[in-house]
Chains A and B, each alone.
Chain A
Amino acid sequence: DAKTTQPPSMDCAEGRAANLPCNHSTISGNEYVYWYRQIHSQGPQYIIHGLKNNETNEMASLIITEDRKSSTLILPHATLRDTAVYYCIVRVGDNNDMRFGAGTRLTVKP
Chain B
Amino acid sequence: DAGVIQSPRHEVTEMGQEVTLRCKPISGHNSLFWYRQTMMRGLELLIYFNNNVPIDDSGMPEDRFSAKMPNASFSTLKIQPSEPRDSAVYFCASSRRGSHNSPLHFGNGTRLTVT
Q: Which residues of A contact B103 (CB under 8 A)?
A: 34, 36, 46, 49
B42, B48, B55, B106: the one contacting A101 at CB < 8 Å is B42
- Structural contact, B43 and A95, CB atoms closer than 8 A: no
A34, A42, A95, A101: the one contacting B108 at CB < 8 Å is A42
- Structural contact, B48 and A97, CB atoms closer than 8 A: yes
Which segment, of B13-21, B71-79, B80-88, B94-102, faces chain A? B94-102
Interface of B, helix, strand, loop or mixed by DSSP: strand
Tell me how many residue pairs across A and B have CB atoms closer than 8 Å.
Answer: 55
In this complex, the interface size class of chain B, counting residues with CB under 8 Å from chain A, is: 20 to 34
Say yes or no: is A59 at the interface (Cβ < 8 Å to chain B). Answer: no
- Structural contact, A95 and B50, CB atoms closer than 8 A: yes
- Structural contact, B100 and A93, CB atoms closer than 8 A: yes
Q: Which residues of A contact B108 (CB under 8 A)?
A: 42-43
Interface residues of A in 50-92 (CB under 8 A from B): 87
Instruction: Select from chain B the residue with minimum beta-carbon distance to A102.
Output: B42
Chain B: residues with CB nearer than 8 A to chain A? Answer: 4, 31, 33, 35, 42-43, 45, 48, 50, 55-56, 89, 91, 93, 95-98, 100-109
Chain A: residues with CB nearer than 8 A to chain B? Answer: 32, 34, 36, 38, 41-46, 49, 87, 93-95, 97-103
